[in-house]
Amino acid sequence: MSDSVEGFDLDRYRASLSGKAATTIRAYLSDLDDFIGWAQAHGCGSPSLVTRVLLRRYLADLSTAGAARATVARRAATLRSYFDYLRRRGVIAVDPASRLSAPRGGGRLPQVVAASDLNDLLENISAGEDDRGRALALRDLAVLELLYGAGLRVSELCGVRRGDLNVKDRSIVVLGKGSKERRLPLHDQAIDALDQWIRIGLPVLATPATAPDAVFVNQRGNPLQPRDVRRILDARSPLPIHPHALRHSFATHLLDGGADLRVVQELLGHASLETTQIYTHVSKERLSSVYRATHPRA
C-alpha cells in the first residue's frame, strides 16, 4: 500500500494507531487499502462522499465474493475505527460507519455467473479506435480468460510472470496461498488471448520502468493490482460481477459438467476438500432451480 492515498488522509490515520500492535496496524491499513480501491472503482474518491449505503454494499460484495464472516466483521471494525477518527478530526461531519456491522446471515452461496453470460462477456469486449484502446482490450480479455478459464484468485493473476507461462504445454504455474505452487492447464482461447496481449498489447502500455518479466500491467505500465482487475470487470461487464465470482463459476461449471470433486480441489488449490464442497451445494442449487423452472410437475 502506498503511504498516502489521495483524499483519504491515511498518513495521519496511521500515526493515530501508534499505540496498537504492529500486526493490528498492518491489518487495518490493508483493510483500508482494499476498501479505498473498491470505493474509487465505484466512483467515490473522497471519504466525504462515503455513505452508509456504500459501506453496506462493500461488505455485501465481500460476502458475495466468498470472504469469511470473520473477515467481513474485521473489515467492518476497521471502517468504524477509520471513520470515527475522521469525524473526531472534523474531516467529515457525519460518521457513515457508526454502528456498522457485518451483514447477518451465514451460509451464503458463492456468486456464480451463467456460462452464457460469461461467453457473452468474453466474446464482446470492444476495443478503442487507437493503439492504446486496442491494447487495453487485449489485456482485459486475457485477464478475464485466465480468471475464468483457470479459476485463478485475483492475487494469483496479478503475480503471474513470463516464466510461469508454458505455451507449448498449454499451462501456467501460479503461486497460491501458503506459497504453494500449482500447475494449471489453459484452454485454447486463453492461450490465444495471452499471446496477442503479450505480443501486441503489452508493448503499447509498457514503460521503461516496467519489469521485463511482467505479464499484466495497468494503464501506467505498473504491475496490475486487484483494484485494477475490479475496474476491468466494472467497465466491461453489463452485469455486476465481482472478480472472485469468475473463480466460483469456474469450479461450479466444472462440477456441473461432471468433473471429480478432488480434481476441482487440486485446480483451485484448496488445502481441504471441505472448502471445495461448497461448490457441490451450488451445483445442487442450480440443478434444483432448472428442475423447478422446467419440469411440468415442479
**DSSP conformation class of 230:** H
Q: Are 115 and 288 in contact (CB under 8 A)?
A: no
Helix (H) or strand (E) holding 34: helix 22-41
Cα 54 to the center of its chain, rounded Å: 18
C-alpha cell at 164: 510461469
Helix (H) or strand (E) holding 275: helix 273-276
DSSP calls for 172-216: EEEE-GGG-EEEEE--HHHHHHHHHIIIIIHHHH--TTS-TTB--
Domain 10-89, CATH among 3.30.300.30, 1.10.150.130, 3.30.70.260, 1.10.1740.10: 1.10.150.130
The pLDDT assigned to 149 comes to 92
Check if 10-89 and 115-127+145-186+224-289 are the same fold. no
Cα-based distances in Å from 209 to 52, 223, 235, 249 = 40, 10, 26, 35
Q: Please give the share of the chain, as a percent, with pLDDT higher than 90.
A: 47
Return the axis-axis angle of helices 278-294 and 243-256, rounded to nearest 10°: 70
Question: What global pTM score does this model have?
Answer: 0.63
The pLDDT assigned to 157 comes to 94
Cα-based distances in Å from 269 to 70, 113, 195 = 21, 21, 25
Sheet holding 181-185, edge to edge: 165-166, 171-175, 181-185
Q: Where are the domains of the chain?
A: 10-89, 115-127+145-186+224-289
**Catalytic site positions:** 153, 177, 244, 247, 270, 279
**Residue range 115-127+145-186+224-289 in CATH 3.40.50.1820:** no
* pLDDT at residue 231 is higher than 80: yes
Q: Where residue 290 falls among pLDDT bands split at 50, 70, 90?
A: low
Q: 107-127 pLDDT, tens per residue? A: 555 678 888 889 888 988 888
* pLDDT at residue 34 is higher than 80: yes
